[in-house]
Structure 1
Amino acid sequence: MPVRIAIVGAGPGGLMCARVLQGHGIDVTVYDADASVEARDAGGTLDLHADTGQIALEDAGLFEEFMKLARLEGQAKSRLDQHGTVLDAFVPDQDDTAAPEIDRGQLRAMLAEHVRPGTVRWGHKLVTATPLGDGGHCLEFGNGVTAEVDLVIGADGAWSRVRPLLSDATPDYTGVSFLDVRFEDVEERHPQIAKLVGDGHMFAMDGDGRAIIGQRNSNGQIRAYLAMRTSLDWHGEAGVDLDDPDAVRRFLLKEFSGWAEEMLPFLTDADGGYLNRPIYALPAPLTWARTPGATLLGDAAHLMAPLGGYGVNLAMLDGAELAHAIAEEATLDEALTRYEAIMLPRSGQHAVAANGGLDGFFATDDFPDHEAEHQMYRETAADYRRGQSRTTPAT
């Protein structure tokens, strides 16, 4: 009989899994709480690594589609101190494709366009997933719809409703919060910010728990993340209403006092409000006992700090590898065993490194070697394609 497969979550990982499953001729339904693929702001820009996200795109037959949208120049990075002094800079070669940038919304829309029509059931927010025995599960959605499936794949992010089937783990606050802001039509309206950010990313740190991260997006937009090592309820403790932009600006100018005048527009001149993004992470390395009829991918399985940009890259590789395992193994249990035996140690290693990296994130004297990083992506990708790294986490 046909296997009934449900993926909960139409992010890059869930959509990648669906695309590769369909490439194998396997039916799948994806459920997502959003009303449509463009119902909300999907977030900023992503770098897709040659040894993870790009391999998944190749498996899905979408690498050329990705390259039509990718920004190679977006790989540029600069490091500044709070006075605006450039401490370090990386400019990629013109033909460097180790980690091109793409807007998260563009990536999600591209993947959604390349699954079969009707695959994604938008407006379906999972409420509960109840085991029925023998690996079956009943999914209940907030709109009253129910579905019985043989396999449920949790691709539903940090606060996954599928994860409790496999683990009691929940995300913990890392002690770092970002305020997400954006700037539109930057060359005309925000030229100083455009100059500081350049073609890619700008990281400015004061060595004392504050940072400004600027990232070039497409269509004349720059997004910035105003980072602080602080308590989870910093705004409540400071008496700041996050819905009052003037109050947030006053707080930020005090919090970032001593920063150069040229850096202050990142704090004060945003188009729109301030979105508070506390950074959470799951315990790492996270493992669980093999559970019939259920598994996880992406942030649902290994939510980690955003350092290194591994979250979406691992999610997409998770999705592709899981789909291949389902297609190639004789039973679902064998497929999930194969998939988790590779995914869990790989993601665990990256999560430990990313979460630990937050300790030194605000330092002004410790800079990643991006040229060596790009070379590592290329070498690891070559090893993967030769079948030498399928069970060994990338380093």
Structure 2
Amino acid sequence: MTPARDPRIAIVGAGLGGLTCARVLQQHGRSVTVFEREASADARPQGGSLDMHADTGQAALRSAGLLDRFHALARPEGDEWRVLDFATGALLAQQGPTPGGGRPEIDRGQLRGLLLDSLTAGTVRWDRAVSKVAPQSDGTCLVLFDDGAAEEFDLVVGADGAWSRVRPALSSAAPHYTGVTFVETGFDQCDTRHPDLARLVGNGSMLAKGVGRSLVAQRNSNGHIRAYIAFREPQDWHAAAGVDLGDEQAVEAHLLRMFDGWDESLRYILRSSDSGFVNRSLFVLPAPHTWEHVPGVTLLGDAAHLMPPVGLGANLAMLDGSDLAHALVAEAGLGDAVRAYESIMLPRSIEAATGSAQGLDHLVPATAS
């Protein structure tokens, strides 16, 4: 009798969730290929600091055998929040770090690098942009690439984020605008070049909020502070205001008008950027977002449950990846494994989506409290 071959598993997207899934599969001797449309690991900045929760992100890292390496990079002192009065800059509240280092911070890029370094060489195939996937009648799934090529797999995992090319094989749902936009900016060598801001932010994160307006700033590694200028406005706020997003001075002037009446110590964030401004409209998937099981394909992370960025998304994506990998190892068949994974992930994501929506309302309140 010919031995059964290993299932051919493809993961679309080399983000935190997809890489966690690949790592756990390889730990158990399973073959996996990750397709990523970016040209290399360093093709773009990976974003700000993440707090890894004990029961989600850290649990996934433990199952991936990477928890000790994570702790060697993490900043437990970063698990601190300061809330400031928007009109005076006075400290209103302070909390953390969590006793026992329960939610240490780590830069997203460092965490992604840790996962990438843990994989067998050649696992990630860079510069391979997927255009769509097509489940086949025999239970396999065809991956189609932008260059016209195609490859067949027994299971394709969509870990390709908000605008997933895999999701349409399972669901017609599309992300919609939350009504909130973040404009991102940054400050280098903050302790020497921006000492007053560094003191406001402290070791972790700082929040000041008014009606429909908030400022959030967070410590990253290497003396960098990343800040988010958050507001409730139409998605085309810049066009309506006649502001060219490529004109840094025009964006700054408009934001200063938008935050008129805020304390000057906080308005410093608007007028002293080292990195310019990046406009980020926040989108979410409908909640609940579910689908009927389709052989040969499933989703994890933002592809499955896109939520506001309030601290849950990366943690859940990594737990999704770990749970899916363990199901694929434990169950006899791919179909049973995917069903077992989806039966855990989908209810969990519905609960998390509700909490994340409430978190965004707290972060950028629509009305006075």
Q: TM-score, normalised by structure 2?
A: 0.96
- Aligned pairs for 1:325-344 (under 5 A) are 325-344=327-346
Residue 291 of structure 2, aligned match among 288, 291, 307: 288
Q: In structure 2, how many angstroms separate the alpha carbons of the residues matched to 1:298 and 1:129?
A: 18
The AA in structure 2 aligned to 1:331 is G
Tell me, in whole angstroms, the C-alpha distance in 2 between the residues paired with 1:344 and 1:355. Answer: 17
What residue is the counterpart of 2:94 in the other structure? 89
- Once residues 96 and 171 of structure 1 are traced to their aligned partners in structure 2, the CA distance between those partners, rounded to angstroms, is 37
Structure 1 Cα separation of the partners of residues 269 and 251 of structure 2 = 12
Partner SS state of residue 185, structure 2: strand
Name 2:268's counterpart in structure 1.
265
Partner amino acid, structure 1, of 2:59: I
Which consecutive unaligned segments of at least 5 residues does structure 1 have? 367-395
Q: How many Å separate the matches in 1 of 2:30 and 2:166?
A: 22
What SS does the corresponding residue of 1:87 show, helix, strand or coil?
strand
Q: SS of 2:136's equivalent?
A: strand
Taking the aligned partners of 2:149 and 2:142, their CA distance within structure 1 comes to: 10
Following TM superposition, by how much is the alpha carbon of 1:265 offset from its aligned partner in structure 2, in angstroms? Answer: 1.3
Distance in 2 separating the partners of 1:81 and 1:170:
37
1:47 and 1:100 in contact (8 A); partners too = yes
Q: 1:34-67 CA distances to partner (integer Å, 9 max, x unpaired)? A: 1111110000000000000001000000000100
Residue 12 of structure 1 and its aligned partner are, at CA, apart by: 0.6
Determine if contact 1:281/1:355 at 8 Å carries over to the other structure: no
Q: Residue in 1 aligned with 2:128?
A: 124
- Alignment-mate amino acid for residue 268 of structure 1: R
Identify which of 45, 49, 53 aligns with 1:45. Answer: 49
Residue 277 of structure 2 is aligned to residue 274 of structure 1: yes
- Partner residue of 1:238 out of 235, 238, 241: 241
Structure 1, residues 136-172: CA drift from partner, whole Å, max 9, x if none?
1211222444211110000000000000011000101
Is 1:22 the counterpart of 2:26? The answer is yes
> Displacement, 1:356?
3.3
Corresponding residue for residue 352 of structure 1: 354
Deviation at 1:193, TM superposition (A): 1.1
Deviation at 1:242, TM superposition (A): 0.6
What is the aligned partner in structure 2 of residue 178 from structure 1? 182
Identity of aligned residues (%): 53
Partner of residue 108 from structure 2, selected from 104, 129, 134: 104
- Counterpart check, 1:64 vs 2:80: no
User: Over aligned residue pairs, what C-alpha RMSD do you find?
Assistant: 1.3
- Alignment check: 8 A CA contact 2:159 2:302 kept: yes
Aligned counterpart, 1:157: 161
Counterpart of 1:168 in structure 2 is 172
Of 208, 215, 220, 2:218 maps to: 215
Q: How many residues align?
A: 363
**Pick aligned residue for 2:14 from 10, 15, 25:** 10
Letter in 1 for 2:222: N
> How far off is 1:365 after superposition?
8.6
Q: 2: CA distance between counterparts of 1:145 and 1:258? A: 56
Q: In the TM superposition, what is the alpha-carbon distance from 1:86 to its structure 2 partner?
A: 1.2
Q: Aligned partners of 1:316, 1:131: CA distance in 2, in Å?
A: 25
Kindly state the Cα deviation for residue 306 of structure 1 after the two structures are TM-superposed: 1.6
CA-CA distance at 1:81 after TM superposition: 1.8
**Structure 1 residue 9: Cα displacement:** 0.4
2:145 to 141, 146, 149: 141
From 115, 118, 121, the equivalent of 2:119 is 115
- Decide which moves more: 217-226 or 356-365: 356-365
Q: Is the 8 A contact 2:135 2:295 kept in 1?
A: no
8 Å CA contact 1:43–1:105 kept in 2: the answer is yes
C-alpha separation in 1, matches of 2:132 and 2:282: 25
Contact 1:205/1:212 (8 A) holds in 2: yes
Whether the 8 Å CA contact 2:289–2:350 is kept in 1: the answer is yes
Q: Deviations over 1:246-292 (max 9, x none)?
A: 00011011000001111111001111221001111001121100110
> Which of 56, 59, 76 matches 1:55?
59
Which one-letter code corresponds to 1:329 in the other structure? E
TM-score, normalisation: structure 1: 0.90
1:204 and 1:344 map into 2 onto residues whose CA distance is 34
> Which whole-Å deviations, capped at 9, do the CAs of 1:214-247 have from their partners, x for residues lacking one?
0000011000000001100000000101110000
Distance across 1 between alignment mates of 2:291 and 2:357: 20
* Equivalent position SS for 1:58: helix
Separation in structure 1 between the aligned mates of residue 134 and residue 198 of structure 2, nearest angstrom: 50
Instruction: Indicate yes or no: 2:202 matched with 1:198.
Output: yes
